[in-house]
A and B are shown apart, each in its own frame.
Chain A
Amino acid sequence: MKESLVTIDNLTITIGLKTVFKSMSFSIYGGESVLLTGENGSGKSTLLKAIFSGQDKKQIQWNKKSERDRVSYLGHELGLYTSLTLEENLEYFSGISKKPISKTKLIGITEKFGLEKRVKDPVHTYSEGMKRKAGIIRALLVDAELLLMDEPFNGLDSNSVGILFNLLMEVGKSTTFIIVSHEIQKIKSIVNRHLHIQHGRISEIND
């Protein structure tokens, strides 16, 4: 029987007067790769943030064996200090993560995205696409047990989309990931589960 990594149990989230989810329940199992879809404003990003922050510990239960801080997240915000260089950012996040990936691996990912010549430049000097790539590198820096990515393909050129796609295939062999994306057809080939949010309810799509 598969063991759940994180269990969402009766999760209700209200923002202002709007109830985003009401009594949402589902589990994410170790080794799964999940595509999360839904209309704009359906609460996909809110759900990822809630899982990442462990907003309500009673409603979001982590497997006792898993290490809570081995979760990595890429949201709409980059999670990078823009006045610092990419190198300084990566050194900082390596320093605070319990299990960062090896430096060689990190350099390899940076080279794949073609940012190796810009690592010593402040992030605010990057173009939007480059910032997005830098954010992806930051998210992949942790040897994560669970990787959460919110529309990671947005703003990437076609070459970088291919690189990220390959990286996700590689990462998916050892890491559980949840990815929010509107590029359903493309992502479907690398995920083994598809969840859809509609009217505050989550359902599994089997096709």
Chain B
Amino acid sequence: MIKSILIKELLITGKAKNGIYSLFTLILTFIFIFHYTLERNNNLSIDSLIGLKWAIIFLLSFIFIGQSIWEERESGAIRINSVYLPAWVFYLSKSFVVFTILFIINILIVFLFYIFFKSMKIDSLVDVFNQIVFLFPAGLSLSLLGVMLSQLSHATRLKEVILPVLLIPLSIPVLLFGMEAERNLILFSGSILKPFVILFAFSIFYGSLGVLVQELTNDF
């Protein structure tokens, strides 16, 4: 059952017009705009680049999560799924696929930043690791939160309206904390473990909340 769900989720993301292709185009557009407007005259500092990277990732996750539930809703398949699948299985599978794709995209963004921005130096695997270590738990938190709120927006019949209203305030703590942790790590050789655990705790909290919300809103 889980295999069928994962295959379906990956196929939808890969094939839908608003799936991975549009996401890739969006990344390039964002990076090119910032490169052309800000990097052209002065090299952006690494401090600014970390902020810029997290801001782009935040916007992308926001858009991608909204799109991930769109096909379910438009097709009416969400109603069929709700009868055949336990709500938590559907929720966790979808969140897992959204997270996996977002994380791959995040790694891609790190390399695109390296190409486009001079201050972004990647000399060894450690540099890559430092750039992505906090994106892992932060991306997981955003995926679990986003999929939960997408389901909630569908169940409340408010649909798209409620998604940004709830997603922005709930995801900003993850964004700010993750960004600061990465700045501390790269600029001041701060610790990895403590902020990683805190960000991961956010994931567990949002994941548990998500499972509960799925169970409560399954009958619609």
- The interface residues of chain B lying within 8 Å CB-to-CB of A98 are 84
Docked-complex contact B77 and A96, CB < 8 angstroms: no
A84-B15, A96-B85, A97-B84 known; A77+B75 contact, CB < 8 A: yes
Q: For chain A residues 112-162, which have a beta carbon within 8 Å of chain B?
A: 122, 138
CB pair A71–B75 under 8 Å, yes or no, is no
Q: A80-B77, A81-B12, A84-B11 are in contact. Are A69 and B83 (CB under 8 A)?
A: yes
A53 and B219 in contact (CB under 8 A), knowing A95-B1, A96-B85? yes
Asked whether any CB of chain A lies closer than 8 Å to the CB of B5, the reply is yes
Asked if B85 and A75 sit within 8 Å, CB to CB, the answer is: no
Q: Which of A53, A81, A97 contacts B71 (CB 8 A)?
A: A81
**A96 contacts B75, C-beta separation under 8 Å:** no
Contact A84 B80 (CB under 8 A): no
- Contact check, B84 vs A96: say whether CB atoms are below 8 A apart: yes
- How close is A130's CB to chain B, nearest CB, in angstroms? 15
Report the minimum CB–CB distance from B68 to chain A (whole Å).
12
Contacting pair B3 A83 (CB below 8 A) = no
Inter-chain contacts of A26 with B (CB < 8 A): none
Residues of A with C-beta under 8 A to B7: 91-92, 95
User: Given that A53-B220, A96-B5 are contacting pairs, would A78 and B83 also be in contact in the complex, using a CB cutoff of 8 Å?
Assistant: no
A204 CB contacts on chain B under 8 angstroms: none
Q: Which residues of B contact A93 (CB under 8 A)?
A: 80, 84
Give the most central of B12, B77, B80: most A CB within 10 Å. Answer: B80
A98 to B85, CA, bound (A): 10
Interface class of chain A by DSSP: loop
Q: A55 contacts the other chain (Cβ, under 8 Å)?
A: yes
Does B115 interact with chain A (Cβ within 8 Å)?
no
**A69 cross-chain contacts in B, Cβ below 8 A:** 83-84
A79 within 8 A of B: yes
Task: Identify the closest chain A residue to B82 (Cβ).
Answer: A53
Task: Enumerate the 4 nearest inter-chain pairs by beta-carbon distance, A residue then B residue, closest first.
Answer: A77-B76, A95-B4, A83-B16, A92-B8
Enumerate 25 A-B pairs (CB-CB under 8 Å) in ascending A order. Answer: A52-B79, A52-B83, A53-B82, A53-B83, A55-B219, A73-B80, A73-B83, A77-B75, A78-B76, A79-B79, A79-B80, A81-B8, A81-B71, A81-B75, A84-B8, A84-B12, A88-B11, A91-B4, A92-B8, A95-B4, A95-B7, A96-B1, A96-B5, A122-B15, A138-B80
B residues sitting closer than 8 Å to A (CB atoms) are 1, 3-5, 7-8, 11-12, 15-17, 19, 71, 74-77, 79-85, 219-220
